[in-house]
Amino acid sequence: MNRRHFLTGALAAAAAPKRPMNVLFVVSDDLTSTALGCYGHPLVQSPHIDSLSRNGVRFERAYCQYALCAPSRASFLTGLRPDVTRVLTNGPDFREFHPNHVTMPQLFKNNGYQSIREGKMFHMGVPGTVGTAQWQDAASWTHNGSPQGKEHNSAGETRNLTPHIAPGVGMRTVRTPDASEQADFDAANRAIAHLEKHRNDPFFLGLGFVRPHVPFVAPGEFFDRYPLSKIRLARNPADDLNDIPALVARTLGATAGNMKMNEDQQMEALRGYYAAISFMDAQLGRVLAALDGLGLRDNTLVVFQGDHGWHLGEHTFWQKRSLMEESAKVPLIVSAPGTKGRGQVSRSLVELVDVYPTLADLCGLTPPSNLAGQSLRPVLDNPKRTHRNAARTQLNAGKTEGRAVRTADFRYIHWRTPEETAEELYDHRKDPHEFTNVAGDPRYAKELARHRALIAEPRGA
């Protein structure tokens, strides 16, 4: 090549428009950060999530805005807090209240992206509405896909550990020989097909895995990774619940008291949960391998997150729907090409409403002006930065309303009904597992007043 041709080629390359950044947005259902290898679990095998963590920023203190599926997902996909979306149970569609709001995937769709859904993005009843498009907001997607799965009707050995509790809540395991019957396997296949089809198009691919949500369905090989002899139950002090307000028990219902499971049944439930995580992780691995094989990783922003946390026997609680750390904290990993903090860990407080403005910022798009969150881009370049001074989570149970605020060293929870109020305050410097409620301790009066003021801040902010 002569000098003239070289200069012509270089000028043409410089003048070529920059290719838009793709997005792979992955949400796992009912996944607690405490049960992932990269977050420090000594037994759970999650190699592909762990690998993503090494190529991105792992957020140690990320919090959902509502400890239940539909309200949390409506919040982070709209970028609005639950008080604004008005989705406070697993039922309403946010469009009833915000018919014209532009959601996260819709923003990309409106800007020329292929906006693709495969699996659970907005609320989906598991196992009841798996494989349907109910609640999935057609306006948000150019492709609105619903992977199929047989759930607890899958072939294989089924164990119902809590027969007194409904299938969508109770602990049921299914050791199946056939991965192909599962929605997450189908979702990964579909996602790979979309990557192949749209490798030359800008895409926002929303990939929603239903595992590890109950029932815990996975091929036998994943159960075999977790011999019961290696599983350890949560250990709670005998007096752990003595200082928790009485009305809290009314919000938990059947998910407290270890759901009436004995220790052997609890270990079976943990094995099922771990197996479901590893199965889901394997499906994520297939999608990430395809992303690499197609040469798309260097131009694709990958986010992996949960929708809320999950109890695994801590405080004798199982499931979500509490305002304690295990239920409010979520896994969040952001792998963004070109950012400087990849491979590092952030301990700053962040909220899931921050994800929408982050993706818009990194992709050069202008989101709606009323979003509640703030872009995490500065933290992705410098994970030592402080992003928030407080993270908020809320919960409603009948006439009981709970609101929690997590600060650097404390968790404060305020409960109220038409007849009564109650408080919890936990000092994470001394009590990271929240065993001792110090709300009534006069030595914490100043911190209690400070956290009361944080709870009282405008609810849409």
pLDDT 10s digits, 28-40: 999 999 999 999 9
Q: What is the pLDDT of residue 12?
A: 41
Say how many residues make up the chain: 461
123 half-sphere exposure, CB direction, 13 A CA radius: 20
Domains in the chain with CATH codes: 20-384 (3.40.720.10)
Strand order, beta sheet including 410-416: 391-397, 400-406, 410-416, 421-427
pLDDT above 50: residue 15: no
pLDDT, tens digit, 9 for 90 and up, residues 383-434? 999 999 999 999 999 899 999 999 999 999 999 999 999 999 999 999 999 9
Q: What is the pLDDT of residue 2?
A: 52
Q: Which two three-digit tokens encode residue 286? A: 């297939």
Q: What is the pLDDT of residue 161?
A: 98
**Secondary structure string (H, E, C) spanning the chain:** CCHHHHHHHHHHHHHCCCCCCEEEEEEEECCCHHHCHHHCCCCCCCHHHHHHHHCCEEEEEEECCECCHHHHHHHHHHCCCHHHHCCCCCCCCHHHCCCCCCCHHHHHHHCCCEEEEEECCCCCCCCCCCCCCCCCCHHHCCEEECCCCCHHHCCCEEEECCCCCCCCCCCEEEEECCHHHCHHHHHHHHHHHHHHHCCCCCEEEEEEEEEECCCEEEEHHHHHCCCHHHCCCCCCCCCHHHHCCHHHHHHHHHHCHHHHCCHHHHHHHHHHHHHHHHHHHHHHHHHHHHHHHCCCHHHEEEEEEECCCCEECHHHCEECCCCCHHHHEEEEEEECCCCCCCCCEEEEEEEHHHHHHHHHHHCCCCCCCCCCCCCCHHHHHCCCCCCECCEEEEEEECCEEEEEEECCCEEEEEEECCCCEEEEEEECCCCCCCCCCCCCCHHHHHHHHHHHHHHCCCCCC
Q: What is the pLDDT of residue 401?
A: 96
- Given a contact cutoff of 8 angstroms between Cβ atoms, the answer to whether 61 and 347 are in contact is yes
> Which residues are catalytically annotated?
69, 123
Q: Which two three-digit tokens encode residue 387? A: 């992003």
Q: What is the pLDDT of residue 253?
A: 85
pLDDT band of 18, cuts 50, 70, 90? confident
- Of the chain, the percentage scoring pLDDT greater than 90 comes to 91
pLDDT band of 461, cuts 50, 70, 90? low
pLDDT above 90: residue 142: yes
Q: Which two three-digit tokens encode residue 53? A: 């963590």
Prediction pTM value: 0.95
- Given a contact cutoff of 8 angstroms between Cβ atoms, the answer to whether 69 and 307 are in contact is yes
Lowest-confidence segment of 16-20, 242-246, 265-269, 364-368 by average pLDDT: 16-20
- Given a contact cutoff of 8 angstroms between Cβ atoms, the answer to whether 53 and 382 are in contact is no
pLDDT band of 1, cuts 50, 70, 90? very low
- Report d(CA 163, CA 166) in Å as an integer: 8
Cis link prior to 383 (omega < 30° from 0)?
no
Give the mean model confidence (pLDDT) for residues 22-49. 98
pLDDT, tens digit, 9 for 90 and up, residues 310-360? 999 999 999 999 999 999 999 999 999 999 999 999 999 999 999 999 999
Q: What is the pLDDT of residue 345?
A: 98
pLDDT above 90: residue 376: yes
Q: What is the pLDDT of residue 17?
A: 55
What does residue 438 show for φ and ψ, rounded to 5 degrees? -105, 20
Q: What is the pLDDT of residue 84?
A: 97
- Report d(CA 312, CA 307) in Å as an integer: 16
- Report d(CA 331, CA 304) in Å as an integer: 8
β-pairing verdict for 114-119 and 203-212 = parallel
pLDDT above 70: residue 16: no
Does residue 167 or residue 210 have the better pLDDT? 210
Q: What is the pLDDT of residue 11?
A: 43
pLDDT above 60: residue 197: yes
pLDDT above 70: residue 10: no
Show Cβ contacts of residue 206 under 8 Å, excluding neighbours closer than 6 positions.
Answer: 25, 27, 105, 115, 116, 117, 118, 119, 121, 141
Q: What is the pLDDT of residue 91?
A: 84
